[in-house]
Amino acid sequence: MKIREKLNQLKTSLGLEPKPLPEVTKPVKKEEVVPPDIQADVDGIYRVPDVPTDEPEIITEPIDEIVPTESEKEDMQTEVDEGYLQYSSEVVGFENRELQWNAYRTVLSYIDSNDVLDFGCGRGDMYAFCKTEEPFNEQEFNYTGVDLNEQMVKLGQDIHEDINLIHDDWFQLSDQITAEWAVNAGSCNLRYDADTVTTDEDYTRNTIKTMYNHSTKGVILLLASSLIDIEDGLVNHNPGSLFNWAQQEFGNVALDHSVGDDVFCLIIYK
């Protein structure tokens, strides 16, 4: 007797009705659900169709160029000109800001006070240098500048509210205007005056005499040297000739050509 039949007899004798076992059938294979817009190809493989995309718009017509009006051009040019005049080193005779600052640093390194009269001050950039560069900014400078260029003087007054700039020919400067040191950082290297009779040498000598008369301690000039034969468009000065003249004229004079091959400093003490 098979084991299953024996189990059924035992359950019957115990009053337990055997329950029929569930009929085992083969699993039903589910059909694959396919979106209606996807169709099988000849090989029975379902492939996702290409999704159409919008083609980018291609502009074939030329875009109109934005052309400023004459008034706008004038306004833009005015802004450029004003910025150039206010901040460019070239406007005041220097190739770049580094050379300009080095010139001021050289001239001021000889003085022993903070009382300065700047001949050929332009916009008063030496004043800005003294306020920002160490060690000169460690003390308050009593600065006065004089220049023949009225536009430069007005620009300097606009830039620095507390600056003392004088628009005048330094040969006509009032005797009341003095300082301990009269300085000239390259202003004799270019001629801005309309005098076509006075030679460059005499112009420089007259300037030195004027500076001497407006100082109480001495005079310092940074001058372009004629010892270097270059075409730089500057008034170049013979250091030996100028030193000999100053020595005879004032007595206590020093000349320093170590500041550069193309420039030298003339220092006159009172």
pLDDT tens by residue, 51-106: 555 666 666 665 555 565 666 555 445 544 567 788 888 888 788 889 899 999 99
What is the pLDDT averaged over residues 37-48? 59
Q: Which helix (H) or strand (E) holds 159?
A: helix 150-159
pLDDT at residue 58 in the model: 65
Q: Is the pLDDT of residue 6 over 70?
A: no
Residue 49: pLDDT over 70: no
Examine the pLDDT at 251 and tell me if it is beyond 80: yes
Q: What is the mean pLDDT of the chain?
A: 81
Is pLDDT at 31 greater than 80 in this prediction? Answer: no
> What pTM was computed for the model?
0.68
3-state secondary structure of 256: strand
Cα separation of 261 and 256, whole Å?
11
Residue at token pair 């450029």: 80
What percentage of the chain carries pLDDT values higher than 90?
51
Burial 182-207 (b: 16+ CB within 10 A, else e): bbbbbbbbeeeeeeeeeeeeebbbeb
Has residue 40 got a pLDDT over 70? no
Q: Which residues contact 95 (CB under 8 A, 6 or more apart)?
A: 89
Residue of higher predicted confidence among 48 and 239: 239
How confident is the model over 125-179, as pLDDT tens digits? 999 999 999 898 888 889 999 999 999 999 999 998 889 999 999 999 999 999 9
Contact 155, 187 (CB under 8 A): no
Residue 230's pLDDT band, with cuts at 50, 70 and 90, is: confident
Instruction: Give the tokens for residue 49.
Output: 């169709």
If 0-12 CB within 10 Å is exposed, 13-18 middle and 19+ buried, where does residue 94 land? buried
Token pair in block for residue 171? 């040969």
Asked if 223 and 242 touch (Cβ cutoff 8 Å), the reply is: yes
What percent of the chain shows pLDDT beyond 70?
Answer: 70
Judged against a pLDDT cut of 80, whether residue 259 lies above it is answered with yes
Nearest one of 212, 200, 267, 184 to 238, comparing CA atoms: 200
Identify the pLDDT of residue 41. Answer: 62
Cα separation of 94 and 103, whole Å? 9
Pairing of strands 115-119, 215-224: unpaired
Q: Which residue has the higher pLDDT, 72 or 116?
A: 116
Q: Please name every residue paired with 183 in a beta bridge, in sequence order, or none if there are none.
A: 118, 220
Strand order in the sheet with 253-256: 165-167, 142-147, 115-119, 179-185, 215-224, 263-269, 253-256
Task: Give the Cα separation of 207 and 189 in Å (integer).
Answer: 12
